[in-house]
A and B are shown apart, each in its own frame.
Chain A
């Protein structure tokens, strides 16, 4: 059954965690783990798992395109901008884990069906994956939503150098995602890094300014959408709300990861990877049905 062929570019934390999730999937088969340095810890892991590895980056994909169905690009926004046209020309589907924002934004709990027609998919951001389903539930149940704000707190240790350097892109991409999926004109994203030891679990709070809140309807909608998220992110949990407090709707979610390559507290990294795997599996089913 697991014959949908996946290649992963980028051998960092995200790429390596995706690899482990691919290995577990009954539908996916990782046929290449590609980076720039065969000595990275991720490469060592892949070699241990018996996955074909290469340090030739995108060139390996070009040379082996006929053996691949889908590429996870876990490099950087700058690299994905170069990779995207190449992958398109090769006729390969791409799931972009970077904040390059080239393809259509995907949040499986919200737009799984419509996104399957696309060939380049952007996974928004970790905070976006955690907050957009809630923002979407708010916009579907409240009639006068003017503004939505999402605040995420993550453990310092779960934010690598790229995340830290790309904080502004994280904010801009998350805000674009909130505006698009919740259909609001104004959105704001805030990110806090917390160094507490033991590490804190990833948390996201969604706020909305609403004049006449309908909390009961929202509660039902939140339960429904959380059920959908839990299918691919089992550690997703609402810890507060929805409540109406100080003129704001407040919903807080906590995300514990699966603890694959990344520790359980790094729910921020886990949720974006789980979402990407969920999409790849849908493609696999679609392909199998043909």
Chain B
């Protein structure tokens, strides 16, 4: 791992997508435009934009977006010169006819097609369609802490076979410790021919540490958000990640001062509050529940007069997946008796 080529890491910035979870999907046009300009100026290779659960996910289930997909994506497109425009796509929410065809028209470059870590075969048609349209396509395995080695041997390989040009493991619950990340990334490197990526959540304070572990194990793609702006306790903080990578001697193509400026701009213009690891977020990470459940769990806990931590532990026992927000109400009703 000493050649110049292997010291390069592809950084993807989902501030304007994962961050939307933190503000109940209320990011506006002005915010999208100004952050895109700042991150583009810093040379961030890929900027992901959209509803927290990605394309076609504005819903009563997860939350309605303030701005529709078309407006978000065209606004971003108009404000990006060098950076590629990326989106997160979960089959089951987004369809080819309704959503992907339109996204291609709006000028999206990078399609990250995601499924729960055990369900890669629902991504086959969506990956195939986007590759067929000549786009860059990565597969994403969400909630990857729930995958055992059998799953890791099969599901990412399916995505590779469907045409994915890389597979990204998401720690959607912020449940991993660095050793978990190293093991999984190494395992995938031995089993796949395509590059591996990692997306960290910070519920147990491991956002940057886990990202470093992924890269040291051989991951070539890494996600970070300005000020850690993301679901629940937030993600790996992009500005810190860029600085750490620079210190480790990795090449990202990102200008440090300018990405620090983009972080400042995000704090001033995008964030309601800088992400912190709240008590509930610690429990969310421990229980292995998707970090994006934080806001709805807090709301439902208040409505039912319950401790949100009890709800998280109960959801963890049920092994809910991202997208099952409706179960929060069922659990609250059950706990209430």
Contact = CB atoms under 8 A, between A and B. Distances in A.
Contact of A193 (B60, B92, B124, B146): B92
Contact of B319 (A165, A196, A248): A196
Given A207-B326, A250-B329, 14 more contacts: A151-B59, A156-B118, A190-B92, A192-B116, A192-B324, A193-B119, A193-B122, A194-B116, A194-B319, A194-B324, A195-B119, A195-B319, A203-B327, A203-B330
Given A161-B121, A195-B116, A195-B119, A245 B329 contact: yes
B333 A168 contact: no
A207 B61 contact: yes
A167 B333 contact: no
Interface stretch (B65-73, B93-101, B208-216): B93-101
Most buried by A among B60, B97, B323, B327: B60
23 contacts: A147-B60, A149-B59, A151-B61, A151-B326, A161-B121, A164-B119, A167-B92, A168-B95, A172-B95, A172-B98, A190-B61, A190-B92, A190-B93, A193-B116, A207-B61, A239-B330, A240-B330, A245-B300, A246-B303, A248-B60, A250-B329, A252-B326, A252-B329
B320 interface: yes
B318 interface: yes
Contact of B318 (A156, A172, A196): A196
A190 B300 CA distance: 21
Interface string B94-113: 01111000000000000000
Nearest to B99: A168
A254 to B, nearest CB: 9
Contacts of B95: 167-168, 171-172
Nearest to A150: B61
Contacts of A168: 91, 95-97, 125
Contact of A167 (B59, B60, B122, B319): B122
Interface string B103-147: 000000000000010110110110000000000000000000010
B321 interface: yes
A156 B61 CA distance: 20
Contacts of B330: 203, 239-240, 252
Interface of B: 59-61, 91-93, 95-98, 116, 118-119, 121-122, 124-125, 146, 299-300, 303, 318-321, 323-324, 326-327, 329-330, 333
A190 B321 CA distance: 13
B305 to A, nearest CB: 14
Given A191-B92, A196-B318, A207-B60, A164 B122 contact: yes
Contact of B125 (A151, A165, A193, A196): A165
Contacts of A240: 329-330, 333
Return the 4 tightest CB-CB contacts between A and B, nearest first.
Answer: A196-B319, A207-B60, A205-B326, A168-B95
B24 to A, nearest CB: 10
A13 interface: no
A188 B327 CA distance: 18
Contacts of A250: 326, 329
A245 B326 CA distance: 11
A209 interface: yes
Nearest to B120: A164
A37 interface: no
Contacts of A245: 300, 303, 329
B132 to A, nearest CB: 15
A149 B329 CA distance: 16
A24 to B, nearest CB: 32
Interface string A202-213: 010101010000
A153 interface: yes
A218 B98 CA distance: 32
A188 B329 contact: no
A173 B327 CA distance: 24
Contacts of B91: 167-168
Contact of A172 (B97, B121, B326): B97
A91 to B, nearest CB: 35
A151 B61 CA distance: 7
Contacts of A243: 329
Given A188-B59, A192-B321, A164 B121 contact: yes
A199 to B, nearest CB: 11
Contacts of B319: 194-196
A188 B65 CA distance: 14
B159 to A, nearest CB: 14
A246 B295 CA distance: 12
A171 B98 CA distance: 10
Contacts of B333: 239-240
Interface in A214-249: 239-240, 243, 245-246, 248
Nearest to B93: A190
Interface string A152-172: 010010000100110110011
B60 A192 contact: no
A193 B146 CA distance: 14
Most buried by A among B91, B300, B303: B91
A207 to B, nearest CB: 4
B299 A156 contact: no
A244 B161 CA distance: 45
A124 B95 CA distance: 18
A209 B59 CA distance: 11
